[in-house]
Amino acid sequence: MDFLELAKSRYSCRAFTDRPIEDEKLAKLIEAARIAPTGKNNQPQRIYILKSEDAIEKINSICKCIFGAKTVFMIAVDTDREWKSTYEEGFTSGIEDISIVATHIMLEAKELGLETCWVNAFPQSKAEALFAIPENEKVILLMPVGYPDEAKAAPSPRHEESRDDTEMIQLK
């Protein structure tokens, strides 16, 4: 599929079926995550794939935005590995790195006929405690992935909202 067609057809899916993701597709999502560019290629992404009944129950107990998905990528940054700027005090590239990794997963999922939703409305520190995430890692986002429940899943009205170029872009 042409890239813009793929990007336009992706939407935030908020209703998934129980159908599991095939292992080959899961492997491709992991590959997409692996090849994402990161600051100085430090690869600080830590990806927890929640699939067990216990893990799915736990994540549902702290997040309302799992939408019935049976696979959830919980993406964290290893703060020991992330690039740290020598130009700007306190500036690190971890959140940028994780956003690119998640975007790769999101678009590869679409290419594979899967849907996703990017979720940050949950208590990250509770997720870290529940899943015994090491001290040096910060959970950034959740990404439920799976097959859409065709009867319920549809792009929200926000999917079509787009700011005008004149508001968004300035030539200097």
Ligand X SMILES: Cc1cc2nc3c(=O)[nH]c(=O)nc-3n(C[C@H](O)[C@H](O)[C@H](O)COP(=O)(O)O)c2cc1C
The site for ligand X (CB under 6 A) is made up of 11-12, 14, 65, 117-121, 155-156, 158-159
Q: Which is nearer to ligand X, 41 or 103 (CB)?
A: 103
Least Cβ distance, residue 89 to ligand X (angstroms): 25
Least Cβ distance, residue 15 to ligand X (angstroms): 11
Q: Which is nearer to ligand X, 19 or 159 (CB)?
A: 159
Least Cβ distance, residue 133 to ligand X (angstroms): 19
Q: Which is nearer to ligand X, 52 or 120 (CB)?
A: 120
User: Which residue minimizes CB distance to ligand X?
Assistant: 121
Contact 29, 110 (CB under 8 A): no
Least Cβ distance, residue 23 to ligand X (angstroms): 27
80-83 contacts at long range (C-beta below 8 A, 24 or more positions apart): 80/44, 80/136, 81/42, 81/43, 81/44, 82/39, 82/42, 82/44, 83/38, 83/39, 83/40, 83/42, 83/44
Alpha helices in the chain (DSSP H): 3-9, 23-34, 53-62, 94-111, 124-130, 165-168
